[in-house]
Amino acid sequence: MTGRTPAAGIRGRLLARSARLRDTPPGPGYKWVALSNTTLGVLIATMDASIVIISLPAIFRGIGLDPLAAGNIGYLLWMILGYLLVSAVLVVVLGRLGDMFGRVRIYNLGFLVFACASVALSLDPFRAGAGALWLILWRIVQAFGGSMLTANSAAILTDAFPARQRGMALGINQITALAGQFLGLLAGGLLAAVDWRAVFWVSVPVSVTGTVWSYLSLRETSAGGRGRIDWLGNLTFASGAGILLAGITYGIQPYGGHSTGWTDPWVLAGLIGGVLLLLVFARVESRAAEPMFRLSLFRVRAFAAGNLAALLTAIARGGLQFMLIIWLQGIWLPLHGYDFEDTPLWAGIFMLPLTLGFLVAGPVSGYLSDRFGARLFSTAGLVVVAGSFLGLLALPVDFDYGVFATLLLLNGLGQGMFSSPNTSSIMGSVPARDRGVASGMRSTFQNSGTALSIGVFFSLMVSGLASTLPKTLGSGLQAHGVPAATAHQAASLPPVSTLFATFLGDNPIGHLLGGGTLDQLTAAQRAALTGHTFFPELVSGPFHHGLTIVFGVAAGMALVSALASALRGGHVRADDDTPQAGADHTAQARPTRTSP
């Protein structure tokens, strides 16, 4: 007699239940079930993309690894960027697979993969480099599951909701996803203070609950077309995008005598090779009978303009997130008496106005865009975002928090005004049969923008610091008794190490000098160098120089995004082919034009 494991029995019952649901027409309340489940899915997926950023100090202490030691910065970068790179590369592929084999089927599998990876991350059995590799590899698996969720959630909602409510539904879903990036920072700080493994434990009950719930409640409401997998397109896109983004990642690290790695032959080879492979991919897709990346969708003005605006806004938003963390943790919080070790948690708390702005503006603008169109709200939102960047640029390094919080709130409101209508415009402008791949393409641009922003803005900041920090740091150290040779050596270290030290909630001076040099100084000199004010006051000038460049570029990107959004034309969407009406989703939808 053959036995069955309990897990196999549970899985069998879930599959049988979901099969029965697929044969039952969705009721009027199904759309709210789809909204709540997909919102939970994108929330946990995007929270886990950022939750490790604040908790990295606790994670590396837990596995006994100094991420700033020679040769270990790579572990640090891949812990941050590995998840983002996988998300950027795979979402369009997984969206296309959803169109072919069922969006709910791929989505459900994503929840299951995400849950298994969360368990494995919390049970890391190794230490030092092996422990870091375990975490990086399982983060990649977790990102694979998260990409299944994000690639298909918007398509599931577009299928479930009538056109008059799609903006509201997609707005809630999209803003939850964006807010998840910032809520992850707060959750990471809170959980890391308890135990570094708690950062990964929190995903386990949520993802397990979501897995069971999705299998029991979601059903396929669109007719998938089996088709053929575009193997050559998948290979060239994944290789090209992966190599390009990896090259940008390693471009942050110093090379030779340079503060960044953009002259490294391997980085240059990655950048050039990635671009060439993407050009080959575009050529392949233009000739493929069943392409994974439907280039023809870019002929729809609303789709093309919306994705361009989303890409540039994601780059600007990613730069804002990382620069604010460094600004708060490295300068403002220590100047106001917070210990460096406590700054990651408080940075997440003090950035809450940004998340609040997302949560308020997203659903409201999504609801209004259903009635008045996307162009007005998305364009106005981006103008508000650009204005908030200019306001942040004008602030002194030691700012008044009330003004700072107001600017963060405005930035969040502006991004909420943009994101919901823009997502609704993109998803509503394509035929029903292409919603999975359109959702994946939209997520690809958004995730790629976040990954690109790290390379772009870290490089801009490092370049700004490299021109002024060495002289300022060297003279400041000598003024407090550090020997000239030691001060010169510390000042000559790549600025990226100093940035990452503040990013990790570590006192950069203690890291730069080490215990041996500090032991040779008087107690008063040691207290001055490692106190709350020496490094922040020393670095504030060079940092503000770099910050001016970063926020100036971000404001310019937001204005270009606003122009692209304004040029999207009137609100173009496919006919209302929601499953509640029992329509066939495989039919080609005819574009219709409503009010601008």
For residue range 255-279, what is the model confidence (pLDDT) as tens digits?
A: 776 766 778 888 888 889 888 988 8
Task: Write phi, then psi, for 573 (nearest 5 degrees).
Answer: -145, 160
Closest of 145, 160, 164 to residue 44, by C-alpha: 145
Dihedral angle of Cα 219, 222, 225, 226, to the nearest 10 degrees: 0
Asked if 168 and 366 count as a contact pair (C-beta separation under 8 A), the reply is yes
With both helix axes pointing from N to C terminus, report the angle between 301-327 and 30-62 in degrees, rounded to the nearest 10: 30
pLDDT of residue 25: 52
**Token pair 């310019």 in the structure block, residue:** 556
* DSSP per-residue string spanning 148-167: HHHHHHHHHHHHHS-HHHHH
d(C-alpha 302, C-alpha 570), whole Å: 8
H-run or E-run covering 572 = strand 572-573
Q: Over the range 118-140, which residues count as b (16 or more CB within 10 Å of their CB) and which as e?
A: bebbbebeeeeeebbebbbebbe
The burial of 468, by beta-carbon neighbours within 10 Å (0-12 exposed, 13-18 middle, 19 or more buried), is given as middle
Query: Domain ranges in the chain?
Result: 230-291
- Per-10-residue mean pLDDT for the chain, 596 residues long? 51 56 60 85 83 79 75 76 78 74 83 88 86 90 87 79 74 75 76 82 85 82 62 80 78 71 83 88 78 77 85 81 80 84 79 83 75 81 91 89 93 86 78 72 78 76 73 80 78 71 68 69 78 78 79 87 79 43 34 38
The pTM of the full predicted model, rounded to 2 decimals, is 0.73
| Predicted local distance difference test score (pLDDT) of residue 172 | 77
For residue 238, give the DSSP letter. H
